[in-house]
Amino acid sequence: MRDPSSLPGWLAARILHIRPELMVIDKPAGLPLDPGRTGAPSLAEWLPLLQLGKRHLPQPAHRLDQDTAGCLVLGRTKPALAALNALFAARRARKTYWAITTGRPQGSDGVINAPLRKISTRQAGWRMESHPDGQPARTAWRVLGTAREAAGDLAWLELRPETGRTHQLRVHCAALGCPILGDPLYGTRPHPAGLHLLARAIALPETPETGAPIAAEAPVPPAMAPAFARCGA
Residue 154 is classified by DSSP as E
Residue 45 is classified by DSSP as G
Spatial contact of 166 and 128, defined as CB atoms under 8 Å apart? yes
pLDDT of residue 201: 98
pLDDT of residue 96: 98
Spatial contact of 129 and 96, defined as CB atoms under 8 Å apart? no
pLDDT of residue 2: 66
Q: Which of 26, 65, 67, 183 is catalytic?
A: 65
Alpha carbon of 153 to those of 103, 107, 175, 220: distances in Å? 5, 14, 17, 20
User: Phi and psi dihedrals of 222, rounded to 5?
Assistant: -55, -35
Residue 99 sits in a domain whose CATH number is 3.30.2350.10
Tens digit of pLDDT per residue, the chain (233 long)?
Answer: 567 778 889 999 999 999 999 999 999 999 999 987 777 899 999 999 999 999 999 999 999 999 999 999 999 999 999 999 999 999 999 999 999 999 999 999 999 999 999 998 877 788 999 999 999 999 999 999 999 987 789 999 999 999 999 999 999 999 999 999 999 999 888 999 999 999 999 999 999 999 999 999 999 999 999 999 999 98
pLDDT of residue 1: 52
pLDDT of residue 233: 85
pTM of the model: 0.94
Residue 196 buriedness (CB in 10 A; 0-12 / 13-18 / 19+): buried
pLDDT of residue 17: 97
Buried b (16+ CB within 10 A) or exposed e, 61-80: bbebbbbbbbbbbbbbbeeb
Supply the range of the domain harboring residue 113.
4-230
Number of domains forming the structure of the chain = 1
Q: Strands 197-204, 94-102: parallel, antiparallel or unpaired by DSSP?
A: antiparallel
65 is catalytic: yes
